[in-house]
A and B are shown apart, each in its own frame.
Chain A
């Protein structure tokens, strides 16, 4: 399916769904804080897992390392400031474009920034106790969710402008199309057999009218299993 027809279909669906969007739990604004609360409660509890068992933090190694530095006694400033500024930026952006970036807001902001702030103030209970960590995360999520819905009420919902969201959705879709070729290119840079594998996979998937990205990865993995490369 070409991206053009996909976009047209999306618009059709949006039109159809618009009528009952505000009434249906799964689409309504009022249910958004609940969904954020679920996710953020799980992410905060993930940080609890990391604090207690050293596993299961929902973030990249580099960012978790900032929190770990604090736990080891090097100060929580970096993790707290990093997390807080991300949370702030993503809440504003998320409410206006209609997509909250969970990486910056919840995983880094609530999962790393808030724990760092708490630990810096000597509050350890929400991180030591599993149930308390779930409750803390959920409360924070509800707050974030309501702030976003609140900002939306005063901006997007008050004017007839969509603030160019269609342009951004279009750009988001276009960037996705780059992924297939990019995977083939980086596979070809990794090693010759892996590159050949990903080319074959991509070509087969293209002929089958399937997304090129999927075939490129599968081809790279199959050839990589036969002709392994080292991480050096």
Chain B
């Protein structure tokens, strides 16, 4: 009875997630004119497979084994189900007869449908298979793909985005460096900071310091201050400078719900 319940729920969840991910991924190719959703790395990886169905499939497959192992072991799908498996497999299904990515991967309607179908299959499969996966395949996913993906996320992507910011002009380079460095300190990855730096630099290049760009830089600074606080960066900063953390600051952190040592 429980199995049936899980199956029905999985099908509903898979369809919802798949349609959203598929359409969002296709819309990414039309950003910034169209608001997409996914991730910069998903966009890069989809492009790395260059519209080749077999590559999209094998890329998704590698992460699928990892997701499978993680689901069986800890009940956690990994973020890759939404970031990599569904978009790449949806793309590979659409491109199977050598169709151009422009007519398939970049089309939100087709990707939504293919993503929905893939979502149902992947989510139902992951939730229903309790048996272990072949260990050798799981090991390859963990030993080969995970390190490669981690290298891509840090330091490859930060460096590429950073260099792009430096090449894009003085303002982008300046703000990209400041916010990129700060983002690595506070969030552990420079990409969001560099991206925001390019936004500000190019925004000011194109239209000067107007209401929009001023609001932008204020909200970016606010964002950094808030995420620094929520991640306890203020306390860590004081500690690494060998200063005592004032009691009121500790109390403030406690009030928000995040304990700091």
Contacts and interface: CB of A to CB of B under 8 A. Distances in A.
A59 B49 contact: no
Given A168-B161, A214-B55, A224 B140 contact: yes
B90 to A, nearest CB: 14
A231 B135 contact: yes
Interface of A: 1, 3, 6, 9-10, 13-14, 17-18, 21, 26-27, 29, 32, 35-36, 38-43, 45-46, 49-50, 53-61, 63-65, 75-78, 80-82, 84-85, 88-89, 92-103, 106-107, 120, 130, 134, 148-149, 152, 154-156, 158-165, 167-180, 182-183, 185-187, 189-191, 194, 198, 205, 210-211, 213-215, 217-218, 220-221, 224-225, 228-231
B157 interface: yes
A81 B257 contact: yes
Contacts of B21: 39, 102
Contacts of A186: 143-145, 147-148, 151
Nearest to A81: B258
Q: Is the interface of B mostly helix, strand, loop or mixed?
A: helix
Nearest to B232: A81
A162 B136 contact: no
A189 B192 CA distance: 29
Q: Which of A18, A58, A172 has the most CB of B within 10 A?
A: A172
Closest 9 pairs (CB-CB, A-B): A39-B20, A214-B55, A164-B202, A176-B44, A98-B31, A98-B32, A161-B206, A42-B16, A42-B17
B15 to A, nearest CB: 8
B195 interface: yes
Interface of B: 2, 6, 9-10, 12-21, 23-24, 26-41, 43-52, 54-59, 61-62, 70-71, 73-79, 81-83, 102, 106-109, 112, 119, 123, 126-127, 134-140, 142-145, 147-149, 151-152, 156-157, 160-161, 163-165, 168, 172, 187, 192, 195-196, 198-199, 201-203, 205-207, 210, 212, 215-216, 219-220, 223, 226-227, 230-231, 256-259
Given A182-B156, A211-B48, A32 B203 contact: no
Given A163-B203, A221-B140, A224-B139, A102 B83 contact: yes
A38 B19 contact: yes
B33 A98 contact: yes
Nearest to B183: A89
B219 A178 contact: no
Given A97-B32, A167-B164, A229-B139, 17 more contacts: A14-B33, A38-B16, A42-B16, A49-B10, A58-B81, A64-B74, A75-B259, A93-B195, A95-B35, A107-B79, A168-B40, A176-B48, A194-B140, A194-B144, A217-B61, A224-B137, A224-B144
Contacts of A230: 139
A163 to B, nearest CB: 5
Nearest to A17: B30
Nearest to A105: B37
Nearest to A56: B127
Contacts of B32: 97-98, 156, 162-163, 165
Contact of A35 (B24, B40, B147, B165): B24
Contacts of A17: 30, 33
B35 A182 contact: no
A40 B13 CA distance: 10
A163 B220 CA distance: 14
B34 to A, nearest CB: 5
B227 A93 contact: no
A75 to B, nearest CB: 7
Contact of B30 (A21, A53, A106, A221): A21
Given A27-B108, A61-B70, A213 B48 contact: yes
